[in-house]
Amino acid sequence: MRYQSVMYAVLAGTALSASAQQINVSFENTQDAGGFTFSPFWLGLSDGSFNLFDSGAMASSFDGIEQIAELANGDALSARFGGAQPGGVQATLAEGGAHPTFEPGEAASMSINTMGNRYLDYAAMVVPSNDMFVGSLASVELFDAMGHFNGPITIDIFGSTVWDAGTEVNDPSDGVAFIDGSDATLGTDENGVIALILPGGQSYLDSFVGMTTATGPVITQSFGEQTHLGRITITPAPASAALIGFGLLGAARRRR
């Protein structure tokens, strides 16, 4: 992705295989007050063959993307991942306050046992919206082929990396999820394809300014392509941090 950075640092120590590794995954909504919110993040650790979604394809081709993008519901995605990756690991990263969503300035982290899985995928809804989401177009390689951790890893989420699922017409008055007074089960079917929301959707994003979200905050600012929306950080869990070896440079890779 043009503005999404996956950066790797090198740590010294003794090599630790992926099969024994616990990692910490954290997310922070880096927007100022009045910005957009993120739903809890679905996380899936796999062998690298799982394909979360494809740009230019219909979301209906990938069970769970429509449900995540429209209602922040990860049940269908979880079922698809479980069937495709019987040895995989799934988790939900949520904010621990009064609401599980990540409002501007909120953050949370969790520890996950990788169970030998080298790759990470993630997905979350952008709130409010008809069908916007963020997700890993390419799986993130946590460990190299030798089992060395490729981290710490930072995934920066910008406005340019927000996706429109193409499943529901972008209309702030029709079926928007998590806007006070709006029925999220409504909305007009779009039958489109997955595409980046910007730059074409700028007026749609701007139309939310002044609206009140279901959890209380009022949207006072929109975002553009280069707006920094959030950050995912992946590090070794404290118990194993001292054992991490020299992390070789890794890369986000396509699942095939």
8 A C-beta contact, residue 227 and residue 31: yes
> pLDDT above 90 covers what percent of the chain?
72
Using 50, 70 and 90 to split pLDDT, how confident is the model at 39? Answer: very high
Q: What global pTM score does this model have?
A: 0.85
What pLDDT does 3 receive? 34
Can you tell me the distance from the alpha carbon of 126 to that of 164, in angstroms, rounded to the nearest whole number? 10
Mean pLDDT, rounded, for 227-231? 98
Return d(Cα 129, Cα 172) in angstroms, integer: 7
Q: What is the phi/psi pair of residue 125, to 5°?
A: -80, 145
pLDDT of residue 168 exceeding 80: yes
Residue 18's pLDDT is: 54
Write down the pLDDT at residue 172: 92
Most confident by average pLDDT, 78-92, 97-111, 238-252: 78-92
- C-alpha distances in angstroms, 253 versus 1, 60, 144? 11, 23, 12
Instruction: State how beta strands 119-127 and 41-46 pair.
Output: antiparallel
pLDDT over 60 (residue 248): no
d(CA 225, CA 189): 26
Q: Which two tokens stand for residue 250?
A: 């890794």
Q: Quote the pLDDT of residue 8.
A: 31
Q: What DSSP letter does each residue of 227-245 carry, written as one string?
A: -EEEEEEEEE-GGGGGG--
Q: What 3-state class would DSSP assign to 157? A: strand
- Does pLDDT of 16 surpass 90? no
* 16 vs 35: which has the higher pLDDT: 35
Which amino acid would we find at residue 132? M
Cα distances (Å, whole numbers) of residue 246 to 77, 160, 199, 234: 34, 32, 40, 16
Residue 92 to residues 108, 134, 249, Cα–Cα distance (Å): 11, 15, 27
Cα separation, 47 vs 142, in Å, equals: 11
Q: Give bridge partners of residue 7 from the DSSP assignment.
A: 154
Give 20's pLDDT tier (boundaries 50, 70, 90): low
Question: For position 36, what pLDDT does the model report?
Answer: 97
> Which whole number is the average pLDDT over 68-78?
96
Angle at alpha carbon of residue 238, lines to 232 and 243, rounded to 5°: 110
* Chain mean pLDDT for the chain: 86
